[in-house]
Amino acid sequence: GAVVSQHPSWVICKSGTSVKIECRSLDFQATTMFWYRQFPKQSLMLMATSNEGSKATYEQGVEKDKFLINHASLTLSTLTVTSAHPEDSSFYICSASPGPISGNTIYFGEGSWLTVV
Amino acid sequence: DAKTTQPNSMESNEEEPVHLPCNHSTISGTDYIHWYRQLPSQGPEYVIHGLTSNVNNRMASLAIAEDRKSSTLILHRATLRDAAVYYCILRDVSGGSYIPTFGRGTSLIVHP
């Protein structure tokens, strides 16, 4: 199946610093990628839709200036958590789809654990 | 994407079949039915998808009701490694709403 790779798998950062998470589709091109965050024992919460070559579309309640998304190519999207605070600690997951040819199947990255201390 | 409803949790014994139901009464003609599962501390993984006919792959089988308003994911012989949260979602391929949103899914507990 298609592969989506996410890096880093886990990161610990100090409060006030910024952290970048990368999401790559390894064997297909993805015009659109999606970023989620997940708290323990809860479902995936969609944060934003990342569109190649244009601005991301953020879900209501998600601060676009805090969670910067860049989709520079058809295989790479990045999420930067700026001025991180302990409440930003969470599991962040990206996903991408090859498109309608696969029934719009979504493939997920391994996820990135962010801990802000 | 249209809404789906699933039981919060189900239990099974190891090596027994498991039938995980999903209701999607507002499904449209261009919606594919997708199943994903998420093991603890991992990103979700694709399990199976279908449109109208039943589907089989190495992981599971998908049985789709004739009116498509419900479906069932079948794990033929549950193992301890199948303990996960299973999500059923609909994916529109017509160019309409394409944002994948997830409900709470079904937490499958497998007893040894």
Average pLDDT over residues A90-110: 86
Instruction: Output the DSSP codes for A10-37.
Output: EEEE-TT--EEEEEEESSS--SEEEEEE
Would an 8 Å CB–CB cutoff place A6 in contact with chain B? Answer: yes
Q: What is the pLDDT of residues B30-80, one digit of tens each?
A: 889 999 999 988 999 999 999 999 999 999 999 999 999 999 999 999 999
Burial class (CB in 10 A: 0-12, 13-18, 19+), B110: buried
The residue behind tokens 């789809």 is A97
Classify B112 as helix, strand or coil: coil
Q: Which residue of B has its CA nearest to A90?
A: B41
Chain B residues in contact with chain A using a Cβ-Cβ cutoff of 8 Å? 32, 34, 36, 41-46, 49, 51, 87, 91-93, 95, 98-105
pLDDT at A9: 96
Looking at the complex, report in whole angstroms how far the Cα of residue A50 sits from the nearest Cα belonging to chain B. Answer: 11
Cis peptide before A8 (omega within 30 of 0): yes
Would an 8 Å CB–CB cutoff place A105 in contact with chain B? Answer: yes
Cα dihedral A37, B37, B87, A5, rounded to 10, equals: 40
pLDDT at B88: 95
Q: Which residue of B has its CA nearest to A99?
A: B93
Q: Where does B1-112 show beta strands of DSSP type E? A: 9-13, 18-23, 31-38, 45-50, 55-56, 61-64, 70-75, 84-92, 106-111
**Percentage helix, strand, coil, to 5, in chain B?**
5, 45, 50
Q: What is the pLDDT of residues A2-52, one digit of tens each?
A: 799 999 999 999 999 999 999 999 988 888 899 999 998 899 999 999 888
Strands A10-13 and A112-116: what pairing?
parallel
Q: Which of B102, B104, B106, B109 is the best substitution to test chain A (most A C-beta atoms within 10 A)?
A: B102
Would an 8 Å CB–CB cutoff place A60 in contact with chain B? Answer: no
